[in-house]
A and B are shown apart, each in its own frame.
Chain A
């Protein structure tokens, strides 16, 4: 693990990604204590106050401190995106491994169905699911997880197919182990590495998708300071205070960049050909 971390730090993407993530993690863990102001506190004399000593990132239409709202908002954005990716990855990994294990007609049927589900554009599927489940951050999280599962299943299956031919899986079959045992105890642990890389990159999609759903009014609800929601609310005041719009926009983009960089760094660091 420490070896992986060292190799990760040696790639430029990995190093920058890790540093950005450390900042984000700090915002998630200590946001409310780091915030210079109460994120909900309104100040009608300080409406649209520009960037300065009093409000580093300016103030919004109610005079609320933008930096404080960003810091606290990290909590309503990041954990949701992570949870959605985790849930989708686990579900997809189980289906993909099972499909590879079963093989033959079952595999064919499962994969063609997954192809078909993936023919629904991601945002559209998430939109339909949220409108069924009801608006809200939790339901948006579940919808994103469901949207991710088919893609993860496809990636996992490709890896699992090679694992399936390995001797230790064959010997487990000969020992007479049950299908669930072989899928969960023998195959799944060995397909995890590529799946983790794929999942890391997907977190950036999850962040963007979650923010998009909130932006459309389907995810996090006001007065939460979720970043997508902050962008949506700031749009009407773009003439008076562009910073209220720019700050959360950049926060979303930076988070997506961080996970993209980390994913690429992980790919390089885990590549066995690259022993240095």
Chain B
């Protein structure tokens, strides 16, 4: 992994964020809402509307408005929310923190379930365990998050009363409560990922199991457990890093729905509220932050892949 490769990856992130910012700004500018009217209401006088347009610079050329927005956004200043009047940046970052907690927990839960499941399916290829894993993968990718979430909430919260149906508790204040409140959202988010990753782990493990060095390890007389865990697992997990990074995209999209259903004040829910209220600064900030998070996750995965796999030399 050379410095120039890292620099190129960095340039790609910047280009990505640039395109995304143009996209987000362009789309939100086309929103059929007059910011001044949204702020002051339908009954505002013409003078008041003009004054606020002047203050927000709504009369300036569009490219100038874009540059001003990007310039401020780069310093973390996304303007004031039209709904609450509070600065959008800090509000969104707090929300992002809660979402990341949910996302990271979902990825961990997914790995704990998907990796053993995929390996089991590969080792028992063609047997019942393999079929079951295949079936779970099929079902997993065929249930959209809102269906999984509603059905799980119906079963575990309404019928069995095991878990709270909605709400968010900070893990810093009440760890047990936080775990109970996050259980359903995390379960929902991890299910669709389990489906993808278990499939991937299965096919990678199959490839590895048929390789020469595994045969060599077996011929050396190593116990099967050692062969699987020490030799096969490591090499099979490598490509999983990439698929997990790609799944972060699904996860971020899914989080919008999951947070809405379970009433978690994360960035997805903030975005939904902003979209409903046509709160331009919040929509722009939320969309840009989410997309940038995804771009960074992808790059981190590439770097991790390069660090883990000594055979790959980027130059």
Residues of A within 8 A of B (CB): 112-113, 115-124, 127-129, 131-132, 134, 204, 208-209, 211-212, 215-216, 228, 231-232, 235, 238-239, 242, 245-246, 249, 252-254, 256-257, 260-261
Contact A212 B271, beta carbon cutoff 8 Å? no
24 examples of A-B residue contacts, CB within 8 angstroms: A117-B23, A119-B16, A120-B23, A120-B291, A122-B250, A123-B253, A124-B287, A127-B275, A131-B31, A131-B275, A131-B278, A204-B141, A209-B144, A212-B144, A231-B147, A231-B150, A232-B146, A245-B154, A246-B151, A249-B151, A252-B143, A253-B147, A254-B142, A257-B142
Contact A116 B20, beta carbon cutoff 8 Å? yes
Contact A124 B252, beta carbon cutoff 8 Å? yes
Q: Is B309 an interface residue when CB atoms closer than 8 A count as contact?
A: no
Which label, helix, strand, loop or mixed, suits the secondary structure of the B interface? helix
Which chain B residue lies CB-closest to A114?
Answer: B19
| Closest Cβ–Cβ distance, residue A229 to chain B (whole Å) | 11
Instruction: Name the contact of A128 in the complex, choosing from B27, B141, B146 (C-beta under 8 A).
Output: B27
Instruction: Name the contact of B154 in the complex, choosing from A128, A132, A134, A242 (C-beta under 8 A).
Output: A242
Interface size on B, residues (CB 8 A): 46
Which chain B residue lies CB-closest to A258?
Answer: B142
Residues of B within 8 A of A (CB): 12, 15-16, 18-20, 23-24, 27-28, 30-32, 138-139, 141-147, 150-151, 153-154, 158, 249-250, 252-254, 256-257, 260, 271-272, 275, 278, 283, 287, 290-291, 294-295, 298
Most B CB atoms within 10 A — which of A115, A131, A204, A209?
Answer: A131
Alpha-carbon separation in the docked complex, A124 to B252 (Å): 8
Contact B275 A260, beta carbon cutoff 8 Å? no
B residues less than 8 Å from A215 (CB atoms):
146, 257
Contact A119 B144, beta carbon cutoff 8 Å? no
A residues less than 8 Å from B28 (CB atoms):
128, 132
Most B CB atoms within 10 A — which of A128, A239, A245, A260?
Answer: A128
Instruction: Name the contact of B15 in the complex, choosing from A116, A122, A131, A231 (C-beta under 8 A).
Output: A116
